[in-house]
Chain A
Amino acid sequence: MPKITINGQTIEVAAGTSVIQAAVKLNIPIAHYCWHEGLSVAGACRMCMVEIEKVPKLQIACNTPVTDGMIVHTDTEKVKDAVKWALDFHLINHPLDCPICDQAGECKLQDYYMNYGLYTPEMGERKVKKAKAVSLGDRVVLDQERCILCSRCVRFTAEVSKTNELGIFNRGDRSVIGTFENRPLNNKYSVNTVDICPVGALTSKDFRFKQRVWFLKDFDTLCNGCSAGCNVVVSYNQNGVFRSRPRVNHDVNGYWMCDEGREFYRYTNKEFRLEQVVERNSELGGAAVRGKPVALAVQEIAGQLKNHVAQNPDGVAIVLTAQYTVEEYDALIGALTQMKIKNFFHWKNNEETFDEFDGLLLRGDKNPNTAGLVKVLKKYGVGGSWKDFEAGAKAKKFKAALVAGPENQSVYPDLAKRVEAVSQCGEVIWLTSCKNDLFNGFKWQVPMKSFIEKEGTFVNHKGMEQKIKAGLKIIPNAVSLKEFAVGIKESAGVAP
């Protein structure tokens, strides 16, 4: 295991590690654009120059393997001058786009200029002109002038998504990133190229111009789009949630996430959410009453459930989707079983494709916590399938149904049909975070917290437990399933 000393700090690393990887381990910053841990080495930007003792010329840190006893300096005048000029060469043809560029605030050119530059530019000639705002596909926009040709996006489509849509065309300073004719950048991981682009050349159509990044706060959570459980970081401010980007986790998702998963943050925003309790009041001729305080609603629901149980415990059906946390299931099923309710049903949306895997990240099971729900159902010894529920509903067996509906309705394409089946039960209490007109026929609609407003555990397809925590409050009236269950328990007077 060779030992390397960088700026006086020594570390022992595995053979084959490059100098820049060793520097990352030591938390010593080395300026770089084209190097990325998840991609092959390109050595194109020439920013990571370091001084290695006994070597006359400066070397790039990304392609120099560590040899035992290597002594490296990154803070000498020679290195600083080399980095400053490498940055200068990057900027001489870079357009004056900071006001309109989304990357401002998280742009590596800006950051390195403040750290290593702060010089008066001497390029007084005309800059090279290329195409701007080119749509590369459904989700990505390219600005060829801003591109510094680090080739990270090209290497990504070649090595990670293996779809090879991007290439560098022409040579010299006429080089541009582009796609081939009739082959747009539409693979399932295309927006990762926007994340890895160090400058504002690739921008996401979804996030474009929505917010300046310095107005946003980041917080770490998990994607709730499928059973992979990719680690993400969500950006938000008081106006809502704006984007979801991947976090590094070598056990789960590596460095990437899929494009589908990037959509789900939007369903946490106000415009999609159910903001208040909606009750269909028979005394008012079935009109919808909005705004009852949740605590009151829970009390009434508890009372109604208790009545139904008193008449016939088998007449109450509980339908659960696998989009809630383990703690929520535990609390709800625990509370309801104590009320002598036994009919629990696991609503699987696309069972046939559950085991699909595209080889990279996408899983067929579009629920984040199927394994968790199955575990909790097993724990209480209950659980039937949707087919059982449908049969029972058709046979008018159920006088009441409590449904913990899906948070991400877009991955439940047959929602209308299922709602129809549910409406065959007598009184339906539908718990959901997002509103939908389909639910307006039900007795109760109770607003639920979205995945970024509550804490809990998701269990992914591998059985790995990962925690989410509450980042912000978007709908003040929303409750988590656990809070709902606790409320039911207290109101129903069940012994703890």
Chain B
Amino acid sequence: MSVVKRPSGKSKWYLPGILTGLSITIKHMFFNLLHRKDMFTIEYPEERYPYGDRFKGNHVLTVKKDGSLRCTACMLCATYCPAECISITAAEHDDPTVEKYPISYEIDILRCVFCGLCEEACPVDAIRMGPEHQTAALAGSNFVYDINRLAYRPVLKGGVLSRVDDEDRHKRGI
């Protein structure tokens, strides 16, 4: 245990310290009142913070040109996810060029830590972390997002196109 020797004088009194702190706060207050535009505070929800392109918000499952899900149910995202929040059930597709697709793709959004590892793991750009982050809901709502919500919610306007073409594999012969 060490004993700090307090210098005598000002610091023994609490009042000078309080007044110094208050003066700083009041200075800022007057500055802000007079220079409204230079304030850092954002008037949410009228003003929104412009997050970057790589912001990790709610997931988006991309679609192919014909509107069906790009995901091939390879389960790399489910494997890589540190929170183990992705559950996928794969099924056989009638079209042999597609072959495998997910009939169920669920993310338990309460478990998700929004780390973005699923986006990194996906080999076909099927899952992305989109810009939305304002998805609070009341208790009792469904917090397990399914394909409808992840790929086809209204704000996505019918589905976001994947950058990795699925036809390429067959046309280019790779």
Contact = CB atoms under 8 A, between A and B. Distances in A.
Interface of A: 95-96, 98-100, 104, 125-129, 131-133, 208-210, 212, 214-215
Given A132-B96, A132-B99, A212 B172 contact: no
Contact of A99 (B76, B170, B172, B173): B76
Interface string B122-133: 011000000000
Contact of B79 (A125, A133, A214): A214
B73 interface: yes
Nearest to B95: A133
Interface in B63-82: 72-76, 79
A125 B174 CA distance: 8
B92 A209 contact: yes
Contacts of B29: none
Contact of B100 (A126, A127, A209, A214): A209
Contacts, number: 47
Nearest to A133: B96
Contacts of A99: 72-74, 76, 100, 123-124
A215 B99 CA distance: 21
Contacts of B172: 126
B154 to A, nearest CB: 29
B74 A98 contact: yes
Contacts of B97: 132
Given A100-B99, A100-B100, A214-B79, A95 B169 contact: yes
Given A99-B73, A99-B76, A209-B73, 16 more contacts: A95-B174, A98-B74, A99-B72, A99-B124, A100-B73, A126-B172, A128-B173, A131-B96, A132-B96, A133-B99, A209-B90, A209-B92, A212-B75, A212-B79, A215-B75, A215-B79
21 contacts: A96-B169, A99-B72, A99-B100, A104-B74, A125-B173, A126-B172, A126-B173, A127-B173, A127-B174, A128-B173, A129-B173, A133-B92, A133-B96, A133-B99, A209-B73, A209-B91, A210-B90, A212-B75, A212-B79, A214-B79, A215-B75
Contacts of B73: 99-100, 209
Nearest to B171: A126
A126 B172 CA distance: 6
A210 B173 CA distance: 28
Counting contact residues on chain B (CB < 8 A from A), the size range is 20 to 34
A215 B87 CA distance: 12
A162 to B, nearest CB: 31
Interface of B: 72-76, 79, 90-92, 96-97, 99-100, 123-124, 169-170, 172-174
A212 B74 CA distance: 8
Nearest to B76: A99
B105 to A, nearest CB: 14
A96 B99 CA distance: 13
A208 B93 CA distance: 12
A465 to B, nearest CB: 41
B135 to A, nearest CB: 28
Main secondary structure of the interface of A (DSSP, over half): loop
Contacts of B170: 129
A366 B174 CA distance: 48
A112 B88 CA distance: 28
Nearest to A212: B75
A209 B90 CA distance: 6
A144 to B, nearest CB: 11
B139 to A, nearest CB: 27
Nearest to A124: B174
Given A133-B96, A133-B99, A212-B79, A100 B169 contact: no
Nearest to A210: B90
Most buried by B among A100, A208, A215: A100
Nearest to A126: B173
A126 B170 CA distance: 10
B174 A96 contact: yes
Nearest to A123: B174
Contacts of B75: 212, 215
Contacts of A210: 90
A94 to B, nearest CB: 10
Closest 7 pairs between A and B when the two form their complex, measured CB to CB: A99-B74, A126-B173, A100-B100, A133-B96, A209-B90, A127-B173, A99-B72
A3 to B, nearest CB: 46
Contacts of A96: 169, 174
Contacts of A129: 170, 173
A131 B92 CA distance: 16
Given A132-B96, A132-B99, A208-B92, A100 B173 contact: no
A100 to B, nearest CB: 4
Contacts of A208: 92
Contacts of B92: 133, 208-209
Contacts of A100: 72-74, 99-100
A212 B91 CA distance: 13
A209 B98 CA distance: 13
A78 B142 CA distance: 60
Nearest to B126: A99
Contacts of A209: 73, 90-92, 100
Contacts of A132: 96-97, 99
Nearest to A104: B74
A116 to B, nearest CB: 22
A104 B96 CA distance: 19
A398 to B, nearest CB: 48
Nearest to B173: A126
A134 to B, nearest CB: 8
Contacts of A126: 172-174
B16 to A, nearest CB: 64
B106 to A, nearest CB: 14
